[in-house]
Amino acid sequence: MLLQPFISYLSLEKNYSPHTVKAYQNDIEEFREFCINTYEISIIDDVDYSLIRSWIVVLVNGAISNRSINRKVASLKAYYRFLQRIEKIENNPLAKHKALKTSKKIEVPFSETEMDDVLKQIAFPDGFEGCRDKLLIELLYTTGIRRAELVNLKLIDIDSYRNTIRVLGKRNKERLVPLLLSTKELLMRYLEERKKLACISDENYLFLSKSGVKIYETLVYRVINKYLGMVSTKVKKSPHILRHTFATHLLNKGADMNSVKELLGHSSLASTQVYTHNSISELKKVHLASHPRNKK
């Protein structure tokens, strides 16, 4: 089995994040485990589609969502595509596989009122953690960066002279994102609080825990859930929804799609266009207010 060369290919040539690479590895190992337990086959490099199909049936019967199953199968398909590329197999057994149907996932962004409430009305605790948590929310909302990008921000990435931050995105692609004045002011206050920490281990990183180590993604999620839960009744409250909110609010205010694409670090407009459905209500208002055929 050539799993390790495939993992190296994803990491070194495709520049996938460690999190993404691990997900591919887990999916492929899960399929291999199924083959061992069900068919006593440990080498999965040359299997036919009927065997893979039986795995998919087991997953469906296991009440796993079609979206998750499609992701697992996509990992396996990528593995076989790699084996074709290095000429270890002639045909990809998943070449003609059709993905399972999935319902369109609608993610509801926070309203402008909710964001105003959390950043202007909520009384964050005094001191380091309160200041950090408020900056964390402000930065996600005003820059649209991803949770992993925020966690990995370093002090050297901040340019207070030009009011920008340098963000290392997917596949190690760098971009510059502007800082609002309000964000910069909060950032400066946080840095002053940060200096008061008794011990700092990960001194290069911007966001730290109170024990002086780099924050982790679960902590970011908890902060978002805690404070947005105080002002919003929406079921889903996550860092990604804040990114979604950033894009939607910019589009609602007339920002062009290409600019939003660059700010988000998307490689194509297709990724950015998923946010446009949230702006349709605003477009309707403009249309009704502006078109001469609309009755006043």
Tell me the catalytic residues. 146, 170, 240, 243, 266, 275
Residue 265: CB partners within 8 Å, gap ≥ 6? 145, 146, 149, 167, 169, 170, 173, 175
Cα dihedral: 35, 38, 41, 42 (round 10) = 50
For the residues of 13-55, what is the DSSP string, one character each? Answer: IS---HHHHHHHHHHHHHHHHHHHHHH-----TT--HHHHHHH
Instruction: Evaluate whether 136 touches 207 at the Cβ level (below 8 Å).
Output: yes
Residue 226: CB partners within 8 Å, gap ≥ 6? 133
Q: Angle, to 10 degrees, between the axis of helix 18-39 and the axis of helix 66-85?
A: 90
Q: What is the DSSP letter of 205?
A: B
Distance CA 214, CA 58 (A): 40
